A and B are shown apart, each in its own frame.
Chain A
Amino acid sequence: MTRPSYADSDARLASLLLHHEIATFNNEYAAALDEQRLTDWAEMFADDALYVILSRENFDRNLPVGLIYCENKGMIRDRAFALKETAMFAPRYLRHMIANQAVLSEAPDGTITARANYVVLQVLYDRPDATLHQVGVYHDKFRRVDGVLKLAERRCVYDNLLVDNALCLPI
């Protein structure tokens, strides 16, 4: 049995750091949405980011339709702005739980492919129960912009095909 080399050790540390970095990112992402800081949320995306929420039914059949379909940061900002300023929906609290986080690959251009499971709980003011509003998986691509991790792509694929009335806030 040989000791791990320093090089191996560096690689494992780098992997650990990256995992930690993505976990920290996801924690902040969840906090921004849970606190309904939608402008902060929008800034976590790269300028050309793709943000789509689509059902597992559509994802599995390569059907592109999404509940929310944003092709760039401008559309993500428009979504955040419209939800804040114009949208009418009953007030509510959301709680995002992100788990099973995995870094799948790191491309030579620095794009990191990652995945995480999520659960979003929703509480309306007139009911005691938190309902399981959405359960699914994030299929992510991260990229560093000026040294800071940003989402270049987040496809939220949800398992519960039947949306409970309306999805009023992002996933």
Chain B
Amino acid sequence: MAWLHAASLNSIRDGAVVSADVGGTPVALYNLGGEIYATHGICTHALALLSEGWVEDGKIECPLHQGQFDIRTGKALCAPLTQDLRTYAVRVDGDDILVDLDQHGARPSLTSKKTESTVQPDKTAIAATAVIVGAGQTAAAAIRALRSAGFNGAIDLVGDEVHLPYERPPLSKDMLLGRGNLEACTRLSRNDADSLGVRLHLGQRAVSIDSAEKLVHLASGETLPYDTLLIATGGRARRLGIPGSDRAGVFHLRTIEDAAAIDRAFGSATHVAIIGGGFIGLELASAAVARDVAVTVLEREPEIMMRLLPRPLGRTFRRVAEAHGVDVRLNADIREITQRGSKLGIVTEQDTIEVDAVLVGIGLEPVLDLAVTAGCAVAGGIEVDAEGRTSIPGIWAAGDCTLHHIPKSDGRRVRLESWHNAEEQGAAAGRSMAGATCDAVMKKPWFWTDQFGLNIQMIGSIHANDMVVRHGDIDAAAGAIYRTIDRETGLLTGVIAFSAPDAIRQARHDLEATTPFVLDNVSNVVLADDESESNTSPSEISAMNAPSSLALTKRYLWPQEGLTRIPDWVYTDETIYEREVEKIFHGRTWNYVALECEVPNPGDYIRSHVGPTPVVVARAEDGSINVFENRCAHRAAEFCRELSGNAKEFVCPYHQWSYDLKGNLAGVPFRRGVNGKGGMPADFKTADHGLRKLNVTTHRGVVFASYNDTMESFEDYLGPEVLSEFDATFDGRKLKLLGYYRHSLPGNWKLYHENLKDPYHATLLHTFLVTFGLLVAGNRSLMLADPSGRHGVMASAKSDGKTVTSDAKKEMRAYREGMTLEEPRFMDFIDEFKSPWSVTMSTIWPNLIVQREMNTLGIRQIVPTGPHEFIMKWTMFGFEGDSEEMTRHRLRQGNLMGPAGFLGLEDNEAIKFVQDGMQRVPNGEHLVKLDPEIEAGTADSLISEAAIRAMYKHWRQEMGL
């Protein structure tokens, strides 16, 4: 026994509750008319501080779910509470309040009337048998009510789940956050069942009811006779009726096993989709966000919760979710769920979303078949009166499978799928079955949901057509209060409070009003039904929810106009970039890595890249060319640092692991340890720890690599048309290396492809060409796209400046007659190729441009480093056998290209400008509409963007967007 100081007397005014920490235990202290009482500080139902609750009539009401305890005795007085609160002995010494945690504060209860209605048991009910089918929360409430109403006959409980009755709200909340377990959810423990005299028939399904003989038939063949019968069969999760909805990885939530499966899925998922934007869907989304799993919610309707709540409230819930990073897609038309490797693809009208798991929360289907066998009147739910009586004598029904007895304002009767309704209807039926007259006034429908850190409570019968009025300035955040008002009568129909339990208390009183709700212009804001988001933008909501989490997901919706628009996120989004590395650079593509003339001899190597990934290209002793990752198999060191060289082997400098010229692990120092100690395990095999090797192919002296081991041949990859242009440049002559340019470019890598699939810019950006009469829009030209759309060749034939027609001159913005170069010979074209074109720029997907600008020849290799930048490596070459003058001609003509080239510097600047524009004025889209007659493909006009569209047709397919 120890009296510990808890608080000072004057810190608790009469009728108040305060919290105190007594030796590490949270305690609630109460002042009831000068008497001080102490209880444990936390509600026995959920984690809520009672000091934030409401003291009234000797009772403390929990702020979260309105459970009430008797302050003096700690007795749990009503649902949802099933467990009493601990009380502690209190002593007041001067101004000190002392508490003894080891002594109960047992005092006689001063609450005069019992909360459960006290009734005289109906004599006829005594020794009768009550059977309850469906062992959920409703059943537990009914059993307690039966017994507290004095029923002393037998109770048989039949349930198809093997578990004792448990409540389901935690399944979408605590159970997914690692805080819940079955025991905590159980509403009727084994001890309760024993003490209440319940005979359990769990794991058993009732198949039919014979209402004439008053028998329940079980699937096991057993028959249970009843005097009174309660049908509390609840419902099952509604299924999606689309192909693929039965795939592994598609989850529904109804049972504790379902919750456990979803919990496991969250453990390994990075992105999940939730189908259905209802309360379950949003609670699942909230749990996913808390678990750092990105979420996309797909809602079929134009707003979430549209059939439950007025549209402005659905919008409010959506904004809360969006402010926490949830990607909510409205009007989602889901066609199919497909398998995409280890992931699932949700195919919608617009696109395919790839996720790790799909959670379906599209509502509940009531289980009515048993009621039908009994002959009960059913209309989308079992029809019952206020006491839960069905149309068949001796049979009651309650919970999710029943219609609420009070019609909505439009006359419809609906099922109320709420915890509160299960409790109320179950208790009402139990009392009625016990023969008690029901003196308890039916409470207003009440519902709560916990999501995104908010405890949101709703009370009243809210209709989707009601007007919504916001109280005060707080919107979609803690403290926000909304009222719904019947448009015809002006009566208050409901109150929705975001982490504001006092508002719900007040609402109980306000909802009794029989006069129209008085709108006050100062504190009330009527919310518009349509989405006029003028006064509150999502960003303002984010600010109010500070600290707001970063958006975890983003919308990747292609504009409705199709390929004539390219959204900015294609070029600026980090996730898209990462996907490109995976799907494109590391996918089914041949990536340029080197020219064979750069590694002519065994042991020669150069550093290169496949996408952003550094690789080494080495020629082995047998003459083969090998490509492997420049990353040590031991500790990931990028071991090869020289740009090029000759080596017998590669040795990682960190721990001297050595690799041969094919990337095989050759030696591991101290592999056997020293003096019999340390070293690698005996089963370590060097053969299993080589460098990651890539698939390699060469064509006409050009080396390509792929992460895909089942690539088609390079010839098939290019297709005949692009191949023939490739071969026109690499015409069989041996290549001679002339040197490199390297530069960074602060733009998205695809913009470089597009620039060379965009002949439109040539005469407009590159005024150098037109100023000196070197290229005009009327030149013979072709913008070729291969059938896949990924490769392209921009080709033109040089014409003599003297033959420029006056029409063509008009097209040339900067053509200035009389302007000439002092050294025009650098623009000479020496026709050395079997091709009708003097210039071809081939874009070979994904990382290669082959430049044949008259006689200056080069490879451009794209090395992306992120969405906003790439590195370009140019490898300029001529041919063995070129005269010195020819080499110098190529070098002189090289002034056109490269990062200081007359044309090259302009391309680099223009691409930077495009990226700048997107970054500084974000979330827009590009217009690529030129040449509408060709949707996507080859164009014979320079004034065309058809090849860009062709590229995006392919890109979208590869990216699944």
Binding site for B on A (CB under 8 A): 53-55, 57-58, 61, 63-72, 74-75, 77-79, 82, 85-90, 161-168
Contact = CB atoms under 8 A, between A and B. Distances in A.
Contacts of A72: 823
Given A67-B741, A168-B909, A87 B768 contact: yes
A74 B368 CA distance: 95
Given A65-B738, A162-B744, A166-B909, A88 B767 contact: yes
Contacts of A90: 909, 912-913
Nearest to A69: B891
Interface stretch (B301-309, B390-398, B898-906): B898-906
Q: Which 4 A-B pairs have the closest CB atoms?
A: A65-B739, A63-B739, A74-B822, A167-B900
Contacts of B743: 162-166
B739 A168 contact: no
B903 to A, nearest CB: 9
A68 B739 CA distance: 13
14 contacts: A53-B900, A55-B740, A65-B738, A67-B898, A74-B823, A75-B823, A78-B821, A89-B906, A162-B871, A163-B742, A166-B743, A166-B908, A167-B905, A168-B900
Contacts of A166: 743, 899-900, 904-905, 908-909
Contacts of B741: 55, 65, 67, 163
Contacts, number: 119
Given A65-B740, A66-B894, A162-B743, A89 B900 contact: no
B895 interface: yes
Interface string B881-917: 0000001100110110011101011101110110000
Given A67-B900, A78-B823, A86-B768, A165 B912 contact: yes
Which of A70, A82, A162, A165 has the most C-beta atoms of chain B within 10 angstroms of its own C-beta? A165
B899 A89 contact: no
B814 interface: yes
Contacts of A74: 821-823
Contacts of B895: 68-70, 75, 79
Contact of B905 (A64, A87, A161): A87
Interface of B: 643, 737-746, 765, 767-768, 771, 814, 819, 821-823, 826, 871, 876, 887-888, 891-892, 894-895, 898-900, 902, 904-906, 908-910, 912-913
B354 to A, nearest CB: 34
Contacts of B746: 165
B898 A57 contact: no
Contacts of A75: 822-823, 826, 892, 895
Nearest to B916: A126
Given A75-B823, A165-B899, 19 more contacts: A53-B900, A54-B739, A64-B739, A65-B741, A66-B891, A67-B900, A75-B822, A75-B892, A78-B822, A86-B814, A86-B902, A90-B909, A90-B913, A161-B740, A165-B744, A165-B912, A166-B908, A166-B909, A167-B899
Contacts of A86: 767-768, 771, 814, 902
Nearest to A79: B895
Contacts of A165: 743-746, 899, 908-909, 912
Scoring A58, A64, A71, A161 by chain B CB atoms within 10 A of each residue's CB, the highest score goes to: A64
A65 B741 CA distance: 8
B735 to A, nearest CB: 13
Nearest to B743: A163
B902 A63 contact: no
B899 A63 contact: no
Contacts of A71: 823, 888, 892
Nearest to B912: A165
A63 B742 contact: no
A161 B741 CA distance: 8
B941 to A, nearest CB: 23
B876 A65 contact: yes
A63 B894 CA distance: 14
Contacts of B908: 165-166
Given A53-B900, A75-B822, A166-B900, A65 B910 contact: no
